[in-house]
């Protein structure tokens, strides 16, 4: 016991002396505030963060992420203030939950630049929407990304499809609608019959990796589902694990998830990193494009499939390029809500109900 | 009036310290700016600790016969203090290993915690409130011999009821501005109490272990919460509950003027009232006497003719009600939302830790909750240095772990005290040079 | 130089109590010296000082004429002092020899060397007539033999001074007899013995001299041969002690408790533990239920007091049927109950003395106003009872019950139950584990209650107590009432036969 104490004491002394050496307070120029969930959520936070890290390393800038104390407007605003206290010149916030915090922060710190991903600043009462010149909101066309994933899956030979969303928030709902549209577009184009409807379409109600979520996916695979598109953050891991057990496939979301499991056929990307880097480049070059929302879709490389890492067997780069071109030039207009989806699907719309695909209450 | 004057005369040092503290907290920030004020606050806290140390020294001098090892309260408190010091030391070593350059600054940031400035002090109090209340919930049940591991579920139910009223019953505010908020916390308290009654009834009349029953009810509460939110107060655009009406948010009662820019609200006043009520129930009433007797020795309570079954149910109702209240205060905040996610709210489990650290006494829980809140703030500000904020979670975990080893630590403390007393005894009677650990805590006498 | 140990003017204090106040103990070489005192008189503290477990505030210790400081038990061992503890400290799955050498073992080439030690143990065993099989496992030998192992352990370590702490508490009468002879032999061989006890007849039997402690103070040392048992008892208790309980003829009044055809079924063992028992207890009498432990007495009392429910029969208090009433109702209807297990039922050990003294009365108007406990009244009540019933504790009313001695815990319960002033007092083994003074005191209290016109139901396992205290005796055997007796007209032997089940008769 005494020896142990002595050891600890001497350790403290040695490190303590070492600690007396440097005393400068570091500042961090680029700051990110994490949304609920950690920096390694293998999804939204991580995609944004990796973009920041890559950009900052390239340009030799300092960077750091901050974690709010709770999920509330006040706590988010406090975290932004902490980041500014820590020397942040540009603050990146991934997620719509930051909308009203940014609304306050953008006027409180006119000299700080804000990049708000997936949201647009408004006040807490939802009455005033304002984006000042030091703020750049970025939105993505998730439905286009979902469309590409659904199209590719059917073209690659899959006929029994499923979809699991985390929660029915607009971004996730749009992924799903696009996915349905893409899959049935491919089927109608080639005269395939799909087995994809309400029975293999659900929202988990959470974004967590859990046995409950896994068992949902596992039961679908058991009943013959060949591939599940999981737009559910960390819950995607549960689907991967179920797919791995059933020797089936799944489609990832937001970032390239091919490295996480051999069961990932492809991923419906939102090019978070690219979008953040473009905005940061603007900040660095002195022409920050604030004041108005930027939409990232097929026409500005905001969404895509990672063809290099995808595990397609028959779907080719040429087919991908062709459909991508159709989306860009407007030959195909991807539906964005339930009403448009019904029109787009025609007779096949009967496979789905609004309550399942786009629940409102 | 005379009594007050007498009190001031008798305790002039303590009185002047409190006056200084009040001055410090409320006036200096405006006069000097917050940074300077934070520093002075810290130094005055040090003076305060020194003062109590001096008082303890005097006490020892006047009562050379006092044996610290004989005071169970003291030994218990020392156990908690050792747990805290262990956690902090562990954290410091960890910080030294991760990044020696900033370890000292970072460590002081943790120690400083919520006392960094007036805003963080207000935030610390704001974050402490739900923790204090869940801690009280667990502690109260524990004092009556029940381990309420279901505080989380009771909190969830309370939170839903509060938010539902907050969203739907806005008309109440037209009758009286405070009525809406009061109704929300009142019904949440009742709902939490009813939820707590379930494991109580099962325990009393079916002899179902309350740990098992309440932990399972956590899941039931979680799913019910999800279903109810979706069906009654759902905001599909954000997959969360609708915003509560401003009239339902906890009022600030001008506390925000004392703690500018912070999130502080009336929750702390509610928490203090609950601390007081539970303290009185446990220590002053025949009801508390019965509850504690049932908790300490169920057979003797039965022998004495106490109705153990009724006491179990009432105890669980009170425990659940306090947890329900915690849930209400946790979510009756503008810009904060109940979400239909299928995860159990962790505040209920934090309550167990706080109850443990606070030795299951209402006042101890209050202090432990504030301490926890301070640590949380410390960990938050640690982000200004090159440390991951998660380090504070590790420190807290170690503190909790160490308090769980309380029994062991108590023995350790007892042994240490006995040894030092023996040494003192051998040197001869009347020797007042007790070591500091003994002297420090003796002001509880 | 005639004294081998001298403890001179020893003072040892604990918070609020002087456990030893200027105590002197002088042990001659080759004598058996009894240390006599009631529970809590300071005997154990004094021996702990000698053994190095406590340091005295004042006083000196001399061993063989030289002043020494004994800082810990190892010092004591080196000085040749050995203690035979009341609760043996033996490893049960080791052999006798292994236990004896434990801590002093020799090794040969890294292996445990047992041959030479066994030889030495055999020698010791023969010399002191401590017969024991050195190769037997401790778990296989009797309690008496285990005690011999403890003694051998001390002798093996060359102890010259042996301290026996209440050695007879765990032994049968035959084993006690053997132990007495062993002690005499040890002294013959030149050892010196300190015998800690409160049993006077044992002292009379073996001791040469006797030192008496009372409330931490040294009362005196007497020569046992020339001092009567009564005199020693008086020194111990501080007043004259009568071994015969004085009581007047009972003045019997109305029936208070009436038990009719009571049957209690135990679900665990699936049989009746009380079968068809009927009796009355009347004002002004002590009815004693005698019997060997485990013959249904416990369940009978629990059924009367409401701790368990009977399967059949009826219980009336003062004519009111209480068979299905709550415990609180029964208490208020007139039952006081000194329970068999004072730690399980009688006290909340982590409550203070004053809190325990209002365990059934805290809600009465005297102690309660608008739901608040009246702490002043609780304190007044405690002080009254402490004074009237001579309950001794370290810190008075605020002492934790847990830290009180067993005798004083029992006194607290007796005080509480008697002070409730009910019509029926049920006392279950009220003197179990108590010393002479306390036993006499409790017997006196029971008789006082009887004389005050209360009905007393006494459950006892001790035949002495049964014969001395009761006015009427019922013997229970296997849950049944096997006979009713008048103590004046029955012998202990006769009762013993009924208790053992070899005789039975049905009462009218």
Give the pLDDT confidence of C131-176 residue by residue, as tens digits. Answer: 888 888 888 887 778 888 988 988 888 889 999 987 876 666 667 7
Question: Exposure string (b/e) for C34-67, b if CB count within 10 Å is 16 or more?
Answer: bbbbbbbbbbbbbbbbbbbbbbbbebebebeeee
Q: Helix, strand, coil proportions of chain A in percent (round to 5)?
A: 50, 15, 35
Q: Sorting pLDDT into bands at 50, 70 and 90, what band is B126?
A: very high
Q: Are A158 and A243 found together in one domain?
A: yes
Structure tokens that stand for B427 in this block: 């040197």
Q: Tell me which residue in B237, B335, B384 faces A72 most closely, judged by beta carbons.
A: B335
The whole-angstrom distance between A304's CA and the closest CA on chain B is 25
pLDDT in tens, A242-277: 999 999 999 999 888 898 899 999 999 999 888 999
Q: Are A129 and A183 found together in one domain?
A: no
Stronger pLDDT, B438 or A173, i.e. the higher one? A173
Residues of C within 8 A of B297 (CB-CB) are 344, 347-350
List the 71-100 stretch of A: residues with Cβ below 8 A of B: 71-75, 78, 82, 85-86, 96-97, 100
| Cβ distance of B93 and A11 shorter than 8 Å | yes
Domain ranges of chain B: 1-64+438-445, 112-386
The whole-angstrom distance between C54's CA and the closest CA on chain B is 8
**Backbone torsions φ then ψ of A26, nearest 5 degrees:** -80, 150
Q: Sorting pLDDT into bands at 50, 70 and 90, what band is B88?
A: confident
Domain ranges of chain C: 3-237, 244-334+423-508, 345-421
Residues of B with CB under 8 A from a CB of A: 89, 92-93, 96-97, 100-105, 123, 127, 226, 230-231, 234, 236-239, 243, 263, 333-337, 339-343, 376-377, 380-381, 383-386, 389-390
Structure tokens that stand for C310 in this block: 């009977």
Q: Are A70 and A43 found together in one domain?
A: yes
For residue B292, give the chain C residue with the closest CA.
Answer: C351
Residue whose entry in the numeric block shows the structure tokens 């184009």:
A189
| Cβ distance of C57 and B302 shorter than 8 Å | no
The whole-angstrom distance between B190's CA and the closest CA on chain A is 26
pTM exceeds cut of 0.80: no
Any domain includes A105: yes
ipTM exceeding cut-off 0.90 for this assembly: no
Q: Which of C470, C434, C448, C441 is nearest to C342 (CA)?
A: C434
Q: Please state the rounded mean pLDDT for residues C495-504.
A: 76
Number of Cβ within a 10 Å radius of residue C150: 21
- Contact between residue C257 and residue C323 where contact means Cβ atoms under 8 Å apart: no
Longest dimension (CA), chain B: 77
- pLDDT at res. C315: 93
For residue B235, give the chain A residue with the closest CA.
Answer: A361
> Which residues are bridge partners to C315 per DSSP?
C259
Burial class (CB in 10 A: 0-12, 13-18, 19+), C482: buried
Q: Are A157 and A40 found together in one domain?
A: no
| Cβ distance of B296 and C350 shorter than 8 Å | yes
- Contact between residue C505 and residue C483 where contact means Cβ atoms under 8 Å apart: yes
List the 195-254 stretch of A: residues with Cβ below 8 A of B: 204-208, 210, 212
Q: Are A229 and A345 found together in one domain?
A: yes
Asked if B286 has any chain C CB less than 8 Å from its own CB, the reply is yes
- pLDDT at res. C311: 92
CATH of the domain at A248: 3.40.50.2300
Number of Cβ within a 10 Å radius of residue B22: 10
Q: Are A216 and A337 found together in one domain?
A: yes
- pLDDT at res. A133: 92
For residue C370, give the chain B residue with the closest CA.
Answer: B285
pLDDT in tens, B401-413: 776 666 566 666 6
Structure tokens that stand for C49 in this block: 């000082």
**Backbone torsions φ then ψ of B221, nearest 5 degrees:** -60, -40
Asked if B420 has any chain C CB less than 8 Å from its own CB, the reply is no
Residues of B within 8 A of C359 (CB-CB) are 293, 300, 304
Side-chain half-sphere CA neighbours of C270 within 13 A? 0
Burial class (CB in 10 A: 0-12, 13-18, 19+), C32: buried
Q: Are A43 and A149 found together in one domain?
A: no
Stronger pLDDT, A116 or B24, i.e. the higher one? A116
Lowest mean pLDDT among B134-138, C292-296, C416-420: C292-296
Q: Tell me which residue in B289, B300, B302 faces C373 most closely, judged by beta carbons.
A: B289
Any domain includes A87: yes
Q: Please state the rounded mean pLDDT for residues B343-368.
A: 87
Mutate to test the interface with B, among C54, C322, C355, C359 (most CBs of B within 10 A): C359
List the 253-282 stretch of B: residues with Cβ below 8 A of C: none
- pLDDT at res. A14: 46
Q: Are A251 and A352 found together in one domain?
A: yes
Q: Are A39 and A113 found together in one domain?
A: yes
Q: Which of A94, A39, A42 is nearest to A64 (CA)?
A: A39
pLDDT in tens, B161-217: 999 999 999 899 899 889 999 999 999 999 999 999 999 999 989 889 998 999 899
- Contact between residue C450 and residue C285 where contact means Cβ atoms under 8 Å apart: yes
| Cβ distance of B236 and A359 shorter than 8 Å | yes
First CA to last CA across chain A, in angstroms? Answer: 62
Neighbours of chain C (3+ CB pairs under 8 A): B
| Cβ distance of B96 and A21 shorter than 8 Å | no
- Contact between residue C338 and residue C346 where contact means Cβ atoms under 8 Å apart: yes
Q: Are A125 and A168 found together in one domain?
A: no
* Fold category of C3-237 in CATH: Rossmann fold (3.40.50)
Structural domain for A235, as ranges = 143-269+331-357
- pLDDT at res. C78: 87
> DSSP characters for C404-460?
S-HHHHHHHHHHHHHHT--SEEEEESTTTT--HHHHHHHHHHHHHHHHTT-EEEEEE
Q: Sorting pLDDT into bands at 50, 70 and 90, what band is B431?
A: very low
Residue A95 pLDDT > 60, yes or no?
Answer: yes
Question: Exposure string (b/e) for C99-108, b if CB count within 10 Å is 16 or more?
Answer: bbbeeeeeee
> Which CATH class, in words, describes the domain spanning B112-386?
mainly alpha
Residue C304 pLDDT > 90, yes or no?
Answer: yes
| Cβ distance of B389 and A67 shorter than 8 Å | yes
Stronger pLDDT, C297 or C438, i.e. the higher one? C297
> DSSP characters for A143-191?
HHHHHHHHHHHHHTT--BEEEEESS--HHHHHHHHHHHHHHHHHHHHHT
- Contact between residue A99 and residue A120 where contact means Cβ atoms under 8 Å apart: yes
Neighbours of chain B (3+ CB pairs under 8 A): A, C
Helix axes B151-168, B118-143, angle to 10 degrees: 120
Residue A28 CA from chain centroid, whole number:
25
Domain count of the fold of chain A: 2
Any domain includes A41: yes
Q: Sorting pLDDT into bands at 50, 70 and 90, what band is B3?
A: low
Residue partners of C28: CB distance under 8 A and separation at least 6: C2, C3, C4, C192, C208, C209
Q: Helix, strand, coil proportions of chain B in percent (round to 5)?
A: 80, 0, 20
Any domain includes A161: yes
Q: Are A258 and A289 found together in one domain?
A: no
Same fold, C3-237 and C244-334+423-508: yes
* Superfamily (CATH H level) for C244-334+423-508: P-loop containing nucleotide triphosphate hydrolases (3.40.50.300)
For residue B245, give the chain A residue with the closest CA.
Answer: A125
pLDDT in tens, B39-76: 555 566 666 666 666 766 676 666 655 555 455 667 67
Q: Are A150 and A241 found together in one domain?
A: yes
CB pairs under 8 A between B and C: 78
Rounded to whole angstroms, the Cα distance separating B89 from B91 reads 5
Asked if B419 has any chain C CB less than 8 Å from its own CB, the reply is no
């Amino acid at each position: 016991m005494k020896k142990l104490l002595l050891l600890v004491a001497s350790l403290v002394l040695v490190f303590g002396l070492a600690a007396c050496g440097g005393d400068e307070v570091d500042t961090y120029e680029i700051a990110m505030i994490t949304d609920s969930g950690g920096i390694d959520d293998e999804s939204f936070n991580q995609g944004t963060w990796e973009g920041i890290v890559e950009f900052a390393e390239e340009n030799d800038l300092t960077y750091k992420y901050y974690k709010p104390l709770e999920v509330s407007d006040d706590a988010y605003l406090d975290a932004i203030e902490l980041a500014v206290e820590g020397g942040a010149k540009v603050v990146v916030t991934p997620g719509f939950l930051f909308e009203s915090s940014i609304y306050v922060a953008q006027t409180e710190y006119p000299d700080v630049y804000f990049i708000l991903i997936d949201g647009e600043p408004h006040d807490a009462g939802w009455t005033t929407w304002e984006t000042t010149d030091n703020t750049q909101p970025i939105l993505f066309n998730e439905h286009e990304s979902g469309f590409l994933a659904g199209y590719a899956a059917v073209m690659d030979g899959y006929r029994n499809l499923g979809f699991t969303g985390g929660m029915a928030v607009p971004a996730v709902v749009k992924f799903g609608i696009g996915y349905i549209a893409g899959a049935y577009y491919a089927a109608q184009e080639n005269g395939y019959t799909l087995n994809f409807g309400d029975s293999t379409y659900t929202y988990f109600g959470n974004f967590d990796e859990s046995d409950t979520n896994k068992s949902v996916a596992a039961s679908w695979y058991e009943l013959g589902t060949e591939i599940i598109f999981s737009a559910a953050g960390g819950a995607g891991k549960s689907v991967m694990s179920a797919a791995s057990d059933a020797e089936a496939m799944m489609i990832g979301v937001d970032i390239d998830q091919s490295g996480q499991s051999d069961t990932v056929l492809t991923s419906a990307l939102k090019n978070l990193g690219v979008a953040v880097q473009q905005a940061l480049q603007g900040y660095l070059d002195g022409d920050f494009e604030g004041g108005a929302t930027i939409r990232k879709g097929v026409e500005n490389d905001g969404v895509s499939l990672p063809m290099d890492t995808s595990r397609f067997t028959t779907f080719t780069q040429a087919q991908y390029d062709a459909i991508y071109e159709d989306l860009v030039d407007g030959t195909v207009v991807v539906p964005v809500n339930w009403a448009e989806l019904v029109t787009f699907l025609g007779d096949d719309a009967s496979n789905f109900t609004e309550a399942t695909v786009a629940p409102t209450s | 009036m005379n009594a007050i004057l007498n009190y001031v005369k008798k305790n002039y040092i303590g009185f002047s310290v409190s006056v200084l503290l009040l001055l410090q907290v409320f006036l200096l920030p405006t006069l000097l700016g917050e940074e300077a004020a934070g520093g002075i606050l810290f130094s005055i806290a040090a003076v305060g600790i020194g003062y109590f140390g001096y008082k303890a020294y005097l006490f020892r001098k006047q009562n050379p016969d006092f044996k610290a090892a004989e005071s169970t309260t003291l030994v218990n408190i020392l156990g908690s203090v050792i747990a805290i010091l262990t956690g902090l030391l562990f954290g410091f070593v960890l910080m030294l290993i991760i990044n020696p350059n900033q370890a000292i600054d970072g460590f002081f940031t943790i120690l400083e915690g919520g006392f960094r400035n007036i805003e963080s002090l207000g935030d610390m109090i704001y974050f402490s409130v739900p923790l204090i209340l869940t801690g009280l919930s667990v502690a109260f049940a524990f004092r009556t011999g029940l381990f309420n591991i279901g505080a989380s579920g009771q909190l969830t139910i309370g939170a839903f009821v509060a938010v539902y009223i907050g969203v739907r019953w806005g008309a109440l505010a037209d009758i009286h501005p405070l009525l809406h908020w009061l109704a929300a916390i009142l019904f949440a308290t009742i709902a939490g109490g009813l939820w707590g009654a379930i494991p109580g009834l099962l325990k009393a009349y079916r002899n179902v272990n309350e740990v098992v029953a309440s932990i399972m009810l956590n899941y039931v509460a979680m799913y019910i919460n999800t279903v109810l939110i979706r069906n009654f107060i759902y905001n599909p655009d954000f997959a969360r509950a609708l915003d509560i009406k401003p009239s339902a948010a906890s009022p600030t009662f001008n506390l925000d003027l004392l703690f500018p820019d912070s999130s502080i609200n009336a929750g702390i006043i509610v928490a203090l009232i609950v601390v007081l009520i539970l303290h009185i129930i446990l220590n002053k009433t025949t009801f508390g006497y019965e509850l504690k007797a049932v908790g300490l020795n169920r057979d003797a309570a039965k022998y004495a003719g106490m109705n153990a079954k009724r006491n179990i149910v009432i105890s669980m109702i009170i425990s659940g009600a306090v947890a329900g209240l915690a849930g209400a205060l946790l979510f009756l905040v503008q810009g904060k939302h109940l979400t239909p996610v299928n995860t159990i709210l962790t505040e209920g489990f934090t309550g167990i830790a706080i109850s443990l650290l606070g030795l299951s006494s209402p006042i101890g829980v209050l202090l432990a909750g504030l301490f926890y809140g301070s640590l949380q703030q410390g960990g938050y500000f640690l982000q200004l240095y090159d440390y991951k904020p998660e380090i504070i979670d590790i420190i807290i975990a170690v503190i909790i772990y160490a308090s769980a080893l309380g029994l062991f630590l108590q023995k350790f403390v007892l042994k240490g005290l006995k040894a030092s007393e023996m040494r003192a005894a051998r040197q001869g009677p009347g020797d007042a040079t007790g070591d500091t650990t003994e002297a420090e805590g003796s002001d509880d006498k | 130089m005639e004294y081998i140990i001298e403890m001179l003017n020893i003072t040892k204090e604990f918070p609020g109590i002087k456990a030893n106040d200027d105590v002197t103990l002088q042990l001659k070489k080759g004598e058996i010296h009894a240390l006599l005192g009631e529970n809590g008189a300071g005997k154990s503290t004094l021996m702990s000082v000698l053994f190095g477990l406590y340091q005295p505030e004042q006083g000196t210790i001399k061993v063989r004429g030289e002043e020494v400081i004994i800082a810990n038990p190892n010092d004591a061992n080196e000085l040749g002092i050995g203690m035979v503890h009341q609760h043996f400290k033996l490893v049960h799955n080791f052999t006798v020899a292994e236990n004896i050498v434990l801590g002093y073992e020799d090794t040969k080439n890294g292996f445990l060397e047992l041959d030479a030690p066994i030889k030495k143990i055999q020698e010791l065993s023969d010399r002191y007539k401590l017969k024991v099989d050195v190769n037997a496992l401790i778990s296989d030998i009797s309690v008496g033999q285990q005690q011999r192992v403890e003694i051998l352990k001390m002798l093996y370590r060359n102890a010259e001074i042996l301290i026996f702490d209440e050695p007879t508490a765990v032994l049968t009468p035959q084993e006690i007899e053997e132990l007495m002879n062993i002690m005499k032999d040890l002294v013959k061989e030149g050892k010196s013995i300190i015998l800690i006890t409160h049993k006077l007849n044992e002292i009379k039997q073996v001791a040469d001299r006797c030192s008496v402690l009372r409330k931490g103070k040294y009362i005196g040392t007497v020569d046992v041969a020339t001092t009567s048992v009564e005199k020693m008892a008086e020194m111990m208790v501080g007043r004259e002690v009568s071994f015969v309980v004085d009581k007047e003829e009972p003045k019997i009044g109305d029936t208070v408790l009436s038990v009719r055809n009571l049957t209690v079924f135990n679900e665990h063992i699936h049989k009746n533990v009380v079968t068809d028992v009927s009796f009355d207890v009347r004002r002004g009498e002590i009815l004693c239920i005698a019997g060997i432990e485990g013959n249904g007495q416990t369940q009978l009392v629990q059924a009367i007091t409401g701790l368990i429910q009977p399967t059949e029969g009826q219980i009336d208090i003062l004519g009111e049927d209480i068979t299905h009433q709550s415990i609180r109702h029964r208490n208020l209807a007139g039952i006081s109950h000194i329970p068999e297990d004072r730690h399980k039922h009688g006290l909340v050990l982590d409550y203070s003395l004053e809190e325990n003294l209002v365990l059934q009365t805290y809600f009465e108007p005297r102690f309660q106003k608008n739901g608040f406990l009246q702490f002043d009244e609780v304190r007044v009540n405690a002080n009254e009872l402490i004074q009237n019933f001579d309950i001794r504790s370290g810190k008075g009313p605020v002492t934790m019950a847990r830290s009180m001695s067993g005798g004083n815990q029992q006194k607290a319960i007796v005080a509480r139950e008697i002070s409730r002033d009910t019509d029926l007092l049920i006392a279950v083994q009220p003197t179990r584990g108590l010393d002479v003074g306390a036993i006499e005191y409790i017997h006196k209290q029971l008789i006082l209650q009887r004389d005050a016109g209360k009905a007393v139901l006494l459950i006892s396992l001790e035949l002495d107590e049964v014969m001395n205290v009761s006015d009427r005796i019922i013997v229970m055997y296997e849950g049944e009432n096997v006979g009713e007796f008048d103590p004046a007209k029955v012998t202990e032997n006769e009762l013993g036969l009924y208790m053992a089940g070899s005789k039975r008769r049905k009462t009218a």
